[in-house]
C-alpha cells in the first residue's frame, strides 16, 4: 500500500481529531490571553494578566492542593489494588472470570450513579456505613460534612470505581510476559517474591506507565461526584481544579479564569505524562 493511500485512510480520523481535539485546545489557549466582561460584546487582550490573576487566587491554590492530595490518595492505592487483583486473578478459570466481572463492575457504573449510591453509604446516622459502625459501638460520622475527612471519603469512591479497570490492563500485561523468564528463575531457585521483584515488576513497566497516565487523567477529569455530593465543600475542602474551572465558567461567569486554569492543568498533565512515561520505561528491554 502506498503512503498516499494510507494518508487517505487516515484522513477521516485525523480530520475529526483536529476539529474536535486540537483546534479546541488551541482556541482555549488563545482565549486565555483575553478578558471579556460579563455582558460585553468584545474581549480585550490582556496578555499574561489572566495567569497572574489565576495564581493570585487563593481558591485556585486551594484547589491545586486538594488535587495533589486527591491524586496521591487515589492513584497509588488504585494501581496497587488493581495490580494485586491482577496477580490473584491472572489465571483463567470460571471462578477467576466471575471475580474479574465483579471487580470490574464499578467501572461500568456512571459516575453520577456511583455518587448517588455512595450518598446512601455516607448519609449520617442512617447511611449504610454509619449503620454498621454503630453496630460495633462506633458513633456516627458526617463523612461528607466534615472538612477534615470529606476529601478522603471521595477518594474511597474513586478507588472503588477505578481499581477494577486498572486490573484489566495489568492482567493483559501479566499475560504478555513470557513463561521462559519464570522457568529460568525457577531453575535458579528464585522465590515467588524474587520473581515478582526481578521479573514481573520490571516487565510491567510499560503497563504501569500507561495505567498511571490513565489514572492521572481520571484525577483531572472527574467532577460529577463533587457536583452530586459536596459542591466543593465543606469550606472548599473538596474543591478540585476541574470543579474550580466549572464554577468559574458556569457560576461566576469568569471565562478568562476558566480558560486559563484549563490551559495550566492540561499543560501540567501533558508534561507530567511525558516525564512519567520516560521514567518508568527507562531501562526496560525486550528480546525480539
pLDDT digits (tens, 9 = 90+) for 238-262: 999 999 999 998 888 888 999 999 9
Look at residue 155 and give its three-state secondary structure. helix
pLDDT bracket for residue 39 (50, 70, 90): low
Measure the CA angle with vertex 137, ends 135 and 141; round to 5°.
90
Give the side-chain half-sphere CA count within 13 A for 260: 23
* Mean pLDDT of all residues in 26-44: 83
- Higher pLDDT among residues 251 and 42, named by residue: 251
pLDDT digits (tens, 9 = 90+) for 103-150: 999 999 999 999 999 999 998 888 889 888 888 888 888 999 999 999
pLDDT bracket for residue 288 (50, 70, 90): very low
Between CA 180 and CA 186 the distance in angstroms is 10
Look at residue 125 and give its three-state secondary structure. coil
| pLDDT winner (highest mean) among 50-59, 175-184, 207-216 | 50-59
Between CA 108 and CA 257 the distance in angstroms is 33
Between CA 75 and CA 69 the distance in angstroms is 10
- Per-residue pLDDT at 146: 92
How many other C-beta atoms are found inside a 10 Å radius of the C-beta of residue 171?
Answer: 22
- Per-residue pLDDT at 281: 58
Instruction: Please spell the DSSP secondary structure of 47-114, one letter per residue.
Output: TTHHHHHHHT-HHHHHHHHHHHHHHHHHHHHHHHHHHHHHHHH-S--HHHHHHHHHHHHHHHS-HHHH
Domains of the chain plus CATH, in order, are: 60-281 (1.10.3720.10)
pLDDT bracket for residue 162 (50, 70, 90): very high
Share of the chain above pLDDT 70, in %: 94
- Per-residue pLDDT at 274: 81
- Per-residue pLDDT at 21: 85
- Per-residue pLDDT at 61: 95
How far lies 16's CA from each of 8, 132, 266, in Å? 14, 51, 20
- Per-residue pLDDT at 1: 54
Look at residue 139 and give its three-state secondary structure. coil
Amino acid at each position: 500500500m502506498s503512503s498516499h493511500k494510507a494518508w487517505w485512510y487516515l484522513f477521516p480520523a485525523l480530520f475529526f481529531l483536529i476539529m474536535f481535539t486540537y483546534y479546541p485546545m488551541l482556541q482555549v489557549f488563545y482565549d486565555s490571553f483575553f478578558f471579556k466582561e460579563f455582558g460585553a460584546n468584545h474581549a480585550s487582550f490582556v496578555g499574561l494578566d489572566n495567569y497572574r490573576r489565576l495564581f493570585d487566587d487563593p481558591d485556585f491554590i486551594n484547589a491545586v492542593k486538594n488535587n495533589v492530595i486527591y491524586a496521591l490518595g487515589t492513584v497509588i492505592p488504585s494501581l496497587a489494588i488493581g495490580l494485586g487483583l491482577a496477580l490473584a486473578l491472572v489465571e483463567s478459570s470460571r471462578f477467576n472470570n466471575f471475580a474479574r466481572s465483579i471487580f470490574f463492575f464499578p467501572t461500568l457504573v456512571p459516575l453520577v450513579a456511583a455518587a448517588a449510591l455512595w450518598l446512601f453509604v455516607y448519609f449520617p446516622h442512617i447511611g449504610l456505613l454509619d449503620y454498621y459502625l454503630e453496630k460495633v459501638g462506633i458513633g456516627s460520622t458526617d463523612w461528607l460534612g466534615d472538612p477534615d475527612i470529606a476529601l478522603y471519603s471521595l477518594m474511597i469512591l474513586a478507588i472503588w470505581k477505578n481499581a477494577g479497570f486498572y486490573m484489566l490492563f495489568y492482567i493483559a500485561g501479566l499475560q504478555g510476559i513470557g513463561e521462559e523468564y519464570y522457568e529460568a528463575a525457577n531453575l535458579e531457585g528464585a522465590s515467588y517474591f524474587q520473581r515478582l521483584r526481578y521479573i514481573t515488576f520490571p516487565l510491567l513497566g510499560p503497563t504501569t506507565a500507561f495505567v498511571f497516565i490513565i489514572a492521572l487523567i481520571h484525577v483531572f477529569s472527574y467532577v460529577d461526584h463533587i457536583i452530586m455530593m459536596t459542591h466543593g465543600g465543606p469550606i472548599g475542602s473538596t474543591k478540585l481544579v476541574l470543579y474550580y474551572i466549572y464554577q468559574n465558567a458556569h457560576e461566576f461567569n469568569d471565562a478568562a479564569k476558566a480558560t486559563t486554569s484549563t490551559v495550566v492543568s492540561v499543560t501540567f498533565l501533558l508534561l507530567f505524562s511525558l516525564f512519567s512515561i520516560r521514567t518508568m520505561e527507562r531501562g526496560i528491554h525486550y528480546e525480539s
